Amino acid sequence: MKTKLLMLTAVMSCAFAGQAMALTKEEYKAQGDRISADYKAGRDKCATLKDNAKDICVSEAKGAEKVAKAELEAQYKPSPSHTEKVALAKADAAYDVAKEKCDDQAGNAKDVCIKDAKAVHVKAKEDAKVAKTAADTSKNKTEKVAEAKKDANAEKREADYKAAKERCDALTGAAKDGCQNDAKAKFGMK
Protein backbone atom coordinates (compact mmCIF):
# COMPACT_ATOMS: atom_id res chain seq x y z
CA MET A 1 0.00 0.00 0.00
CA LYS A 2 2.80 2.40 0.93
CA THR A 3 4.62 1.59 -2.30
CA LYS A 4 1.52 2.35 -4.37
CA LEU A 5 1.07 5.65 -2.55
CA LEU A 6 4.70 6.61 -3.14
CA MET A 7 4.44 5.68 -6.81
CA LEU A 8 1.24 7.69 -7.18
CA THR A 9 2.88 10.67 -5.50
CA ALA A 10 5.88 10.41 -7.81
CA VAL A 11 3.70 10.16 -10.91
CA MET A 12 1.56 13.12 -9.87
CA SER A 13 4.56 15.31 -9.10
CA CYS A 14 6.03 14.48 -12.51
CA ALA A 15 2.74 15.35 -14.16
CA PHE A 16 2.56 18.71 -12.42
CA ALA A 17 6.22 19.41 -13.08
CA GLY A 18 5.65 18.73 -16.77
CA GLN A 19 2.75 21.17 -16.88
CA ALA A 20 4.89 23.93 -15.41
CA MET A 21 7.33 23.70 -18.31
CA ALA A 22 6.60 25.38 -21.62
CA LEU A 23 5.75 23.14 -24.56
CA THR A 24 7.79 22.68 -27.68
CA LYS A 25 6.26 23.75 -30.99
CA GLU A 26 5.60 20.11 -31.94
CA GLU A 27 3.93 19.36 -28.59
CA TYR A 28 1.85 22.52 -28.96
CA LYS A 29 0.64 21.47 -32.41
CA ALA A 30 -0.10 17.91 -31.28
CA GLN A 31 -2.07 19.20 -28.29
CA GLY A 32 -3.99 21.58 -30.58
CA ASP A 33 -4.89 18.68 -32.87
CA ARG A 34 -6.03 16.64 -29.86
CA ILE A 35 -8.23 19.53 -28.66
CA SER A 36 -9.86 19.77 -32.09
CA ALA A 37 -10.47 16.02 -32.17
CA ASP A 38 -11.91 16.09 -28.64
CA TYR A 39 -14.25 18.93 -29.62
CA LYS A 40 -15.45 17.06 -32.71
CA ALA A 41 -16.06 13.90 -30.66
CA GLY A 42 -17.91 15.89 -27.99
CA ARG A 43 -20.03 17.64 -30.57
CA ASP A 44 -20.82 14.33 -32.30
CA LYS A 45 -22.18 12.98 -29.00
CA CYS A 46 -24.68 15.85 -29.01
CA ALA A 47 -26.22 14.71 -32.31
CA THR A 48 -28.34 12.08 -30.56
CA LEU A 49 -29.91 14.62 -28.21
CA LYS A 50 -32.89 16.84 -28.91
CA ASP A 51 -34.11 20.34 -28.09
CA ASN A 52 -32.43 22.18 -25.22
CA ALA A 53 -30.47 19.13 -24.09
CA LYS A 54 -28.68 19.27 -27.45
CA ASP A 55 -28.05 23.01 -27.06
CA ILE A 56 -26.58 22.44 -23.59
CA CYS A 57 -24.38 19.63 -24.89
CA VAL A 58 -23.08 21.76 -27.77
CA SER A 59 -22.42 24.65 -25.40
CA GLU A 60 -20.48 22.33 -23.09
CA ALA A 61 -18.39 21.01 -26.00
CA LYS A 62 -17.62 24.52 -27.25
CA GLY A 63 -16.76 25.67 -23.75
CA ALA A 64 -14.45 22.72 -23.15
CA GLU A 65 -12.69 23.49 -26.43
CA LYS A 66 -12.23 27.19 -25.59
CA VAL A 67 -10.89 26.38 -22.13
CA ALA A 68 -8.54 23.71 -23.49
CA LYS A 69 -7.21 26.12 -26.13
CA ALA A 70 -6.66 28.84 -23.54
CA GLU A 71 -4.89 26.38 -21.23
CA LEU A 72 -2.73 25.18 -24.11
CA GLU A 73 -1.75 28.74 -24.98
CA ALA A 74 -0.95 29.45 -21.32
CA GLN A 75 1.18 26.34 -21.19
CA TYR A 76 2.94 27.19 -24.47
CA LYS A 77 3.60 30.83 -23.56
CA PRO A 78 3.21 31.20 -19.79
CA SER A 79 2.28 34.74 -18.70
CA PRO A 80 -0.16 36.52 -16.39
CA SER A 81 -2.13 37.56 -19.47
CA HIS A 82 -2.56 33.97 -20.64
CA THR A 83 -3.45 32.86 -17.12
CA GLU A 84 -6.16 35.52 -17.12
CA LYS A 85 -7.39 34.27 -20.50
CA VAL A 86 -7.76 30.76 -19.04
CA ALA A 87 -9.86 32.09 -16.17
CA LEU A 88 -11.96 34.17 -18.58
CA ALA A 89 -12.46 31.19 -20.90
CA LYS A 90 -13.65 29.10 -17.95
CA ALA A 91 -16.00 31.89 -16.84
CA ASP A 92 -17.39 32.35 -20.35
CA ALA A 93 -17.86 28.61 -20.84
CA ALA A 94 -19.68 28.21 -17.53
CA TYR A 95 -21.86 31.23 -18.30
CA ASP A 96 -22.81 29.96 -21.75
CA VAL A 97 -23.81 26.57 -20.36
CA ALA A 98 -25.74 28.16 -17.48
CA LYS A 99 -27.68 30.36 -19.91
CA GLU A 100 -28.59 27.32 -21.99
CA LYS A 101 -29.79 25.52 -18.87
CA CYS A 102 -31.97 28.54 -18.04
CA ASP A 103 -33.84 27.98 -21.31
CA ASP A 104 -35.60 25.04 -19.64
CA GLN A 105 -37.43 27.54 -17.44
CA ALA A 106 -39.96 30.24 -18.25
CA GLY A 107 -41.06 33.65 -17.07
CA ASN A 108 -39.48 35.19 -14.01
CA ALA A 109 -37.76 31.94 -13.04
CA LYS A 110 -35.85 32.05 -16.35
CA ASP A 111 -35.01 35.74 -15.86
CA VAL A 112 -33.72 35.05 -12.33
CA CYS A 113 -31.71 32.09 -13.60
CA ILE A 114 -30.06 34.26 -16.26
CA LYS A 115 -29.30 37.08 -13.78
CA ASP A 116 -27.80 34.57 -11.33
CA ALA A 117 -25.65 33.12 -14.12
CA LYS A 118 -24.56 36.62 -15.10
CA ALA A 119 -23.65 37.43 -11.48
CA VAL A 120 -21.45 34.32 -11.27
CA HIS A 121 -19.89 35.25 -14.62
CA VAL A 122 -19.13 38.81 -13.50
CA LYS A 123 -17.56 37.53 -10.27
CA ALA A 124 -15.30 35.11 -12.15
CA LYS A 125 -14.24 37.78 -14.66
CA GLU A 126 -13.49 40.30 -11.92
CA ASP A 127 -11.51 37.72 -9.94
CA ALA A 128 -9.44 37.03 -13.08
CA LYS A 129 -8.71 40.74 -13.47
CA VAL A 130 -7.63 41.03 -9.84
CA ALA A 131 -5.40 37.94 -10.17
CA LYS A 132 -3.73 39.39 -13.28
CA THR A 133 -3.15 42.69 -11.51
CA ALA A 134 -1.73 40.85 -8.49
CA ALA A 135 0.79 39.14 -10.79
CA ASP A 136 2.08 42.56 -11.86
CA THR A 137 5.68 43.24 -10.89
CA SER A 138 5.71 47.04 -11.17
CA LYS A 139 6.52 49.42 -8.33
CA ASN A 140 2.97 50.54 -7.64
CA LYS A 141 1.56 47.00 -7.58
CA THR A 142 -0.12 47.47 -4.20
CA GLU A 143 -2.06 50.51 -5.41
CA LYS A 144 -3.08 48.75 -8.62
CA VAL A 145 -4.26 45.64 -6.75
CA ALA A 146 -6.24 47.76 -4.28
CA GLU A 147 -7.89 49.66 -7.14
CA ALA A 148 -8.63 46.43 -9.04
CA LYS A 149 -10.19 44.89 -5.92
CA LYS A 150 -12.29 48.00 -5.34
CA ASP A 151 -13.54 47.97 -8.94
CA ALA A 152 -14.15 44.21 -8.81
CA ASN A 153 -16.17 44.48 -5.62
CA ALA A 154 -18.32 47.24 -7.14
CA GLU A 155 -18.99 45.13 -10.26
CA LYS A 156 -19.80 42.06 -8.15
CA ARG A 157 -22.20 44.03 -5.94
CA GLU A 158 -23.92 45.46 -9.02
CA ALA A 159 -24.37 41.98 -10.52
CA ASP A 160 -25.68 40.56 -7.23
CA TYR A 161 -28.06 43.50 -6.92
CA LYS A 162 -29.45 42.94 -10.42
CA ALA A 163 -30.06 39.27 -9.60
CA ALA A 164 -31.76 40.15 -6.30
CA LYS A 165 -33.86 42.81 -8.01
CA GLU A 166 -34.96 40.28 -10.62
CA ARG A 167 -36.16 37.98 -7.83
CA CYS A 168 -38.31 40.85 -6.56
CA ASP A 169 -40.13 41.01 -9.90
CA ALA A 170 -42.01 37.85 -8.97
CA LEU A 171 -43.69 39.84 -6.19
CA THR A 172 -46.28 42.61 -6.38
CA GLY A 173 -47.25 45.74 -4.46
CA ALA A 174 -45.74 46.43 -1.06
CA ALA A 175 -43.93 43.07 -0.98
CA LYS A 176 -42.13 43.95 -4.22
CA ASP A 177 -41.25 47.44 -2.97
CA GLY A 178 -39.94 46.00 0.30
CA CYS A 179 -37.92 43.39 -1.56
CA GLN A 180 -36.36 46.01 -3.83
CA ASN A 181 -35.54 48.29 -0.89
CA ASP A 182 -33.95 45.37 0.97
CA ALA A 183 -31.87 44.53 -2.12
CA LYS A 184 -30.73 48.16 -2.45
CA ALA A 185 -29.73 48.26 1.20
CA LYS A 186 -27.99 44.89 1.14
CA PHE A 187 -25.86 45.72 -1.91
CA GLY A 188 -25.34 49.41 -1.18
CA MET A 189 -27.25 50.74 -4.17
CA LYS A 190 -28.89 54.15 -4.32
Domain ranges of the chain: 105-190
DSSP letter string, 32-87: HHHHHHHHHHHHHHHTT--HHHHHHHHHHHHHHHHHHHHHHHHHHS--HHHHHHHH
What is the pLDDT, as a whole number, of residue 19? 45
Is-above-0.85 flag for pTM?
no
Q: What is the DSSP letter of 140?
A: T
Helix 51-76, helix 25-46: angle, nearest 10: 170
Higher pLDDT, 55 or 14: 55
Higher pLDDT, 133 or 93: 93
